[in-house]
Amino acid sequence: MKSIKTMQVRLTIIKKLEEKFNPDELNVIDESHLHAGHVGAKPEGETHFKVEMKSNKFLGMSRVNMQREVYKALELEMEDKIHALSLDLSC
């Protein structure tokens, strides 16, 4: 069972992405269990995530720019909490 502390990473990701992108669809999936024993993995999880998001904020943006905007929104978490982030973005 995950502690409240470790669950905060996923919830923080959801909150920040909802605030910045007002998505029509948002799924934040903790894939940490798939990376157990790999560099950057922690026993408590919440280090590897997949984000599936659809937002009108991405209209007119290239795929690279969409990704840059998400990384910018999660800059603090990427520094020391998120080891890997997979993005599936669309408008």
5 has pLDDT over 60: no
Q: Model-level pTM?
A: 0.82
> Does the domain spanning 4-90 belong to CATH 1.10.10.350?
no
Pick from 80, 70, 78, 59: nearest CA to 19 = 70
Pick from 72, 7, 74: nearest CA to 45 = 7
pLDDT at 36: 59
- Mean of all residue pLDDT scores within the chain: 86
pLDDT at 83: 87
Q: What is the pLDDT of residues 15-41, one digit of tens each?
A: 999 999 999 999 999 988 665 555 555
Average pLDDT over residues 37-63: 82
Domain-by-domain residue ranges, the chain? 4-90
